[in-house]
Chains A and B, each alone.
Chain A
């Protein structure tokens, strides 16, 4: 692959004799040049992304326990088994609940931070950097800080110290399913890690809003809130849609912090398994590739439907 990328440009075949070859090469060898540039990437994408997707689809219709070259086709039974499996349904509920918390909260807070930072003159770069910095941190490291220091069950953890300040007892934030304090732990870790990135997207969106619109709203005597409600927010619509979609897809792929915050040496607790954690155990620990693939296909359909609905909704909005 690297030979194609770094090597000298391919020789220009004249191709005068062969008209088929001539057509393949295109006008001024453009087709050849196109594939020289795009070819390495497309080959890799096909081999490492597209083929696995179709292979997964194939596996989902076969009995594939411990093997990936199955011989027995089983129709939709992997799908029906998956949909009947309470653990899989629980993982879908976990995803819906997680998305219902993390998507709106991240959206609102990152927009708020972007608006605050954009209206700041003094120390703007400082504030932007502080909020953006956790983006460079890994989910594993954040999980460690959250699990063993910020929200550990030890009375000396920061959360328990604050609780004692308000006269409350120290509590286990992570180990107990009831009440589900672990949601606070998981969600706040993700918020810390990703707010800054979405703030940067919103900051770029805010910059593209024409100043004349703000002049007009000032002349009309709009309050700050009215200006935000009727000028800023509607003008940000392309950014809003992209941010929502990215947030949703990322929430759906949640894995790192769940495994590292809730996981223990002897396995993962029976609650709060998002889809990816569940599939990780079905596919890689139990080696049931057929069911794992069926689960993955079901999840893809869900994501695709939501994405299409959002695109639809967005276009409908535009026409209005």
Chain B
């Protein structure tokens, strides 16, 4: 240990028994943790593909006795559960909110970071302070506002209030502050205004970061529960989370179908997340979220 020179935190020290023990215990801990983290996914998959009768049995089963793929068609054939409508609504809401947040917050973040304006710091302070105010405070009056607008039980009621995300604006601003200024100055000398600079020079170079924000927004929107349960009060405006939640607390639940519904609801997100997580990790590193 003494003669060792660590060049990086993860660098290995001399191959003494002590460090070997360290490696072994580290990997054991990680493997145990990984197994624990995967158990819920395993249970979801097992239950979604089990015959209904097996789920109420009093004995543990590792895998379904017979793989019941029919749960899928039974779920979508169940008139009492508007699963398909929930999925369609969630897809529409999440897509429109993601596109909207990226454009609205992206432009606002750029303006706050790059266009000199006398009250820009004051505005930033207001935006940051709304971050500290919990949804608990705003959901009652927001509900009231929706009621006045006649937006209860409509898709615009689900979508529009979620388009203005202070956190996304804040993150975009942090990102654009770290963007090399020389590139933009060159573009402006070439005669591009703020608009041209943003859309032709800055935006094409912010794809990775935008992908990260888009992924986080899409996931947040798809998984949202409080607002959809408050505003989406008619069957036409149920999102998939509301459909599942009502299914959970209903009586005579068909558990196998319910788990199949949950599986269908998270599978697209898990796949998207696996592809996009690289950008999220880079985005967190780049903006120094939680640091600086």
List residues of A whose CB falls within 8 A of some B CB.
1, 5-6, 9, 26, 30-31, 33-34, 36-38, 40-42, 44-45, 47-53, 55-56, 59, 68, 113, 116-121, 126-150, 154-156, 158, 161, 192, 196, 200-201, 203-209, 211, 214-215, 217-219, 221, 224, 232, 238-239, 242-243, 246, 249, 252-253, 255-256, 259-260, 263-265, 275-276, 279-280, 283-284, 289, 292-293, 296-297, 299-300, 303-304, 307
A136 with B134: CB separation less than 8 A: no
Give every chain B residue within 8 A of A158 (Cβ-Cβ): 39, 43, 60
B166 at the interface (CB under 8 A from A): yes
Question: Do most interface residues of chain B lie in helix, strand or loop, or is the interface mixed?
Answer: helix
Q: Which residues of B contact A214 (CB under 8 A)?
A: 6, 8-9
Contacts A119-B26, A211-B7, A296-B140 given; does A37 touch B259 at CB 8 Å: no
- For B136, the chain A residues whose CB sits under 8 A away are 252-253, 275-276, 279, 296, 299-300
B181 contacts A by Cβ under 8 Å: no
Nearest neighbor of A33 in chain B, beta-carbon distance: B194
When the two chains form their complex, are residues B226 and A55 in contact, meaning their CB atoms are under 8 A apart? Answer: no
Say yes or no: B262 contacts A256, CB within 8 Å: no
The answer on a CB contact under 8 Å between B144 and A156 is: no
- A253–B220 Cα distance when bound, in Å, is 15
Instruction: Give the residues from 126 to 143 in chain B that come closer than 8 angstroms, CB to CB, to chain A.
Output: 126-127, 130, 132-143
Q: B290 in the interface, Cβ–Cβ < 8 Å?
A: yes
18 other A-B residue contacts (CB within 8 Å) besides A134-B40, A141-B262: A38-B111, A38-B123, A49-B138, A49-B166, A55-B144, A56-B137, A56-B140, A119-B10, A144-B259, A149-B43, A150-B43, A154-B56, A204-B285, A260-B249, A275-B136, A289-B144, A293-B141, A303-B133
Dominant secondary structure at the A interface: helix
A214 to B135, CA, bound (A): 42
Q: How far is the CB of B282 from chain A (nearest CB, A)?
A: 9
Could you tell me if B193 and A33 are in contact, using CB atoms closer than 8 angstroms?
yes
Q: List 12 A-B contacts (CB under 8 A).
A: A40-B104, A40-B108, A59-B141, A116-B26, A131-B34, A136-B272, A137-B223, A204-B288, A218-B1, A255-B225, A263-B249, A265-B250
- Whether B266 sits at the interface, judged by CB under 8 Å, is yes
B290 to A201, Cβ gap below 8 A?
A: yes
Task: Tell me, rounded to whole Å, the shortest Cβ–Cβ distance linking A104 to chain B.
Answer: 17
Distance in Å: Cβ of B189 to nearest Cβ of chain A: 14
Contact of B44 among A118, A130, A145 (CB under 8 A): A145
Interface residues of B, count at CB 8 A: 108
Check A41–B108 contact: CB distance below 8 A: yes
A259-B225 Cα distance, complex, nearest whole Å: 10
Residues in chain A near residue B34, CB distance under 8 A: 126-127, 130-131
Q: Which residues on B sit within 8 Å (CB–CB) of A45?
A: 127, 130, 164, 166
Task: Report chain A residues within 8 Å CB of B289.
Answer: 201, 204, 242
B204 proximal to A (CB < 8 A): no
CA distance A110 to B140 in the complex (A): 33
